[in-house]
Structure 1
């Protein structure tokens, strides 16, 4: 007889929990790891990923390589509990060029875990969370309002909860696309191999500018709109949601006065 195939739901215990607003998504948490790799703090204290999280609180439980100057993170270190207080040494393994002091790196594609790549990863993980959440909200609002999925007129949504849910999803996407509340970063290094790979599918305008142009000094990117606007997830949005996002971005960019949070 054929084997019985079943779908496990155990993955969603973490990958559809509070860190992803209870929707399916990727994780990039920062923890206080002990020697076994488990966190010394409860799950409620795990830090979420994202470009809005201070670097001081990122990368606990991760290997990190590359130069980041005087800034410190939680990577490369084991936490300890002393007198009921949890501590982690952010200084000992800062600004590492390679990770070979921890293990042999010969079997890996690269000898390090580049900090520039991790900064991009942080942004991308949370950006994808926002995109997924907005898509769920929009499709539910269209369904509750008994509208065709191809409808584009936001004013046709049922007043009240449907409209509010839709607009909240839109605003979360726009805020993150335009890097609202991005934490400042110091000048950091970038592995040439990552820079080349990341730019492989860059889309440039007539002035050769791209949303994938890395700055890595003060902020991650040179231009203040996420390259994730070109992602398949965004491209497959309901037309109403995509149009509302474009309209809001245009409103912010063309406002005669700076819009709060985007100035």
Structure 2
């Protein structure tokens, strides 16, 4: 059974949730690498990732002075901790950025993170303004927020709802809520126009609620060409919205 066939198998409820996360991390690695590339010039040495999952993004960061991964799922963090057991700079913490207690908040603030990564997480938080304000608080002065969120309300469909998304984002809305923080925009652009078109067909037109064999296979084949095109010209729409912001 090839990896892509396994994705379909793990969409079945018989597969465990952690199994699905691990498998998705494997087949999604080329795409995740492209996502991380959007932030690479801005990444520092002391990094906090909100919503680290099984550690797919952390695995792409390379050596750093310190990396802390935060997530709300204990079994996922246990997997990530074991995955990076030979990297002493990596540690993992069970916490919810939308509801940090005083001791956890104090512990994280004391780390003086120069970079905070938040990819495909903010849309899961009901109060996204408060979440951004907390992220600002967790950054050291001049620290950078690397943010990636799903784009365009017109793409919101059954899959978003099933996955716990409260919203998708436009540039104007994201700038509005960032205006309630002290985070200044460095750059903002839409990302993966081809993926947006495919998403609209699959999840809006056909109203599908799973990722299957075909979607991963097609995206991975197209990825080298899409990456090259968007390196030259940023598209006017995309599957995601990328923002890099700096704390004053």
Name the TM-score class by shorter chain: under 0.3
The TM-score, its normalising length taken from structure 1, stands at 0.25
TM-score w.r.t. structure 2 length? 0.26
Structure with the bigger percentage of strand: 2
Looking at both structures, which has the greater relative contact order when contacts are Cα pairs under 8 Å and sequence separation is at least 6?
A: 2
